[in-house]
Amino acid sequence: MTALLLASHQLKPAASPPRFGVRDLVRAGRGIVSVQDIKNAASKMLARVSLQARPAPTSLIYPMIMPLSSSGVAKNELHSLLDCATFLTELSVCDSYFVTVPSAVTAFAAVKCAVEACPSVSGEAKRALYDFIEESTKLNVHSQEVQAAELRLGSFCLAEGEDLDDVHAAVVEAEVASSPRGVDVVPCDESEIKPLPTPSESEGPQQQQQRMKRMVSDEDIVVRPKRPSNDDGTATMTRVKRIRHFVVIED
Domain-embedded: residue 16: yes
Domain-embedded: residue 160: no
Distance, CA of 188 to CA of 97 (rounded, Å): 46
Entry pTM: 0.46
Domain count, the chain: 3
Domain-embedded: residue 162: no
**Residue 41: domain span:** 2-48
Query: Quick one: pLDDT at residue 110?
Result: 93
Same domain for 149 and 71? yes
Same domain for 66 and 35? no
Backbone torsions φ then ψ of 195, nearest 5 degrees: -70, 165
Same domain for 209 and 124? no
Same domain for 149 and 65? yes
pLDDT tens string, the chain, 251 residues long: the values are: 566 666 666 555 555 665 666 677 777 677 666 767 767 776 676 666 555 567 888 888 999 998 898 888 888 888 999 999 999 998 888 787 888 889 999 999 999 999 998 888 888 999 999 999 999 888 998 999 999 999 988 887 754 445 445 544 554 455 455 544 433 334 444 444 445 455 555 566 666 656 555 444 444 444 444 444 455 544 444 443 343 344 444 43
Query: Quick one: pLDDT at residue 228?
Result: 46
Query: Quick one: pLDDT at residue 155?
Result: 83
Same domain for 230 and 208? yes
